[in-house]
Amino acid sequence: MNIEDVKNICVIGAGNMGHQIALCCALAGYKVTCTDISQEMLDKAEAFAKSYLPERVAKGKLTQEMADGALTNLQFIPSLEEAAGEADYVIEAAVEKMEIKRKLFADLDRIAPPQAILATNSSYIVSSQIADATKRPAKICNMHFFNPALVMKLVEVVQGPHTSEETAQVTMDLCAKLGKIAVLLKKEIYGFLVNRILSALAQEALFLADMGIATPQEIDIAVTNALGHPMGPFRLMDLTGIDLAYYSAMERYQTSRDPKDKPSPLVVEKYVKGEWGKKTKKGYYTYD
Ligand code: 3HC
């Protein structure tokens, strides 16, 4: 298989990441099916595409023809069977829970054509923890986008010991077709590059807030103005989802059993209250 064989892309999950990954692929000219177990999420994703594309045209960032093409290319389909049945490349962007991902990959292995590559957009989980749920481990890899996926240029591609050279190459080529800058990791590590670096920063920021040394807002002011980051760690957590911060810390703790990997008290408090950031309109900040 080479990149020219990729015509149909299926994106699993219409949430924070999935809806924008699907749109990236549609804008690059691929036929895209986006699926989710929640009809509400699919409706929201479709509404986003229908408002985002005309906005880009009005801003002069897209031609009308490109916007129309992307909308024609993009379908929102509730049935996994229908969405993945003819896919050449599948990008899974479902919730960050190992068992859900393993079950999804087992289903995808049954549904997607045998030549299809199945990639996970997991934020932390390496694909070798998922590949053995399928009978095509050579065609499994990580393809990790950043939020907001329409804007952020980087994609991390991780080639596990089971991933073939061909799968890694097609994935790198796909990143280029999407206009992304890709880094290829040939050794698996939990959290890859960026989220490991980011979580070191977030862990310290949470420690300072948990200790009452400064508020999340003060820490964000310090980081943005001293380090030049476009967002401080708390506003960024609101963007990526405090639920994701909670799940990933739990996943990490369950593997390591190291108390320092447990989610911070502030993350637990926000998670339990359902204040998960921008997606729930309240996190460390409130949103209209
Ligand atoms: N969706 C799509 N496009 C968006 C967007 C969104 N949610 N938010 C902003 N944009 C676009 C705008 O349309 C604008 O595009 P244009 O310049 O082509 O017209 C551009 O981004 C700049 O937007 P704004 O001027 O409104 O706002 P900012 O300049 O403040 O930029 C930001 C917003 C791009 C989100 C910027 O604050 C930023 O880069 N923040 C850091 C994001 C980051 O670190 N992401 C990585 C998170 S880690 C991760 O995702 C890992 C995962 O595993 C959790």
- Could you read off the pLDDT of 221-269 as tens digits, one per residue? 999 999 999 999 999 999 999 999 999 899 889 888 999 889 999 999 9
Output the pTM of the full model: 0.95
| Same domain? 104 vs 148 | yes
Does ligand 1 lie within 6 Å of residue 142's CB atom?
no
CA distance 236 to 202: 9
pLDDT single digits (tens) 30-85: 999 999 999 999 999 999 999 999 999 999 999 999 999 999 999 999 999 999 99
Does ligand 1 lie within 6 Å of residue 230's CB atom?
yes
Question: What percent of the chain stands above pLDDT 70?
Answer: 100
At 55, which CATH number?
Answer: 3.40.50.720
Torsion angle of alpha carbons 177, 180, 185, 189, nearest 10°? -130
From atom 49 of ligand 1, which residue's Cα is the shortest distance away?
A: 146
Q: Which of 156, 188, 251, 275 does the annotation list as catalytic?
A: 156
Question: What's 214's DSSP letter?
Answer: S
User: Does residue 175 lie in a domain region?
Assistant: yes
Q: What is the mean pLDDT of residues 194-215?
A: 96
Question: Is 156 noted as a catalytic residue in this protein?
Answer: yes
Question: Is 38 noted as a catalytic residue in this protein?
Answer: no
| Same domain? 218 vs 176 | no
From atom 18 of ligand 1, which residue's Cα is the shortest distance away?
A: 61
The residue from 185, 212, 247 where one domain ends is 185
| Same domain? 263 vs 135 | no
Q: What is the mean pLDDT of residues 24-33?
A: 98
| Same domain? 208 vs 264 | yes
Task: Note the pLDDT of residue 134.
Answer: 98
Give ∠ CA 184-231-158 in degrees, rounded to 5. 15
Q: Which residues are annotated as a binding site for NAD(+)?
A: 13-18, 36, 96, 101, 123, 147, 279
Does ligand 1 lie within 6 Å of residue 17's CB atom?
no
Q: Which atom of ligand 1 is nearest to the CA of 55?
A: 13
Q: Which of 195, 199, 248, 264 does the annotation list as catalytic?
A: 195
| Same domain? 19 vs 138 | yes
Tokens 């087992």 belong to 106
CA distance 105 to 12: 10
- Is the per-residue pLDDT at 213 higher than 90? yes
User: Does residue 8 lie in a domain region?
Assistant: yes
Does ligand 1 lie within 6 Å of residue 121's CB atom?
no
The residue from 128, 151, 185 where one domain ends is 185
The number of beta carbons lying within 10 Å of the beta carbon of residue 102 is 17
Query: Could you give the number of structural domains in the chain?
Result: 2
The number of beta carbons lying within 10 Å of the beta carbon of residue 175 is 21
**DSSP state letters, 92-125:** E---S-HHHHHHHHHHHHHHS-TT-EEEE--SS-
Question: What's 191's DSSP letter?
Answer: T
Q: Could you tell me how far CA 124 lies from the centroid of its own chain?
A: 10
Q: Give the full edge-to-edge strand order of the sheet including 117-120.
A: 74-76, 31-35, 8-12, 89-92, 117-120, 140-145, 154-158, 181-185
Torsion angle of alpha carbons 169, 173, 176, 182, nearest 10°? -10
pLDDT single digits (tens) 165-198: 999 999 999 999 999 999 999 999 999 999 999 9
Tokens 């380090």 belong to 227
Radius of gyration of the chain measured on its C-alpha atoms: 19
The residue from 185, 220, 246 where one domain ends is 185
User: Does residue 110 lie in a domain region?
Assistant: yes
| Same domain? 148 vs 34 | yes
Q: Which amino acid, one-letter code, is at 212?
A: G
| Same domain? 35 vs 146 | yes
At 202, which CATH number?
Answer: 1.10.1040.10
Question: What's 193's DSSP letter?
Answer: T
| Same domain? 45 vs 167 | yes
From atom 21 of ligand 1, which residue's Cα is the shortest distance away?
A: 151
From atom 36 of ligand 1, which residue's Cα is the shortest distance away?
A: 230
Does ligand 1 lie within 6 Å of residue 127's CB atom?
no
User: Does residue 288 lie in a domain region?
Assistant: no
Question: Is 195 noted as a catalytic residue in this protein?
Answer: yes
Q: Which residue range forms the structural domain that includes residue 224?
A: 194-280
CA distance 8 to 94: 19
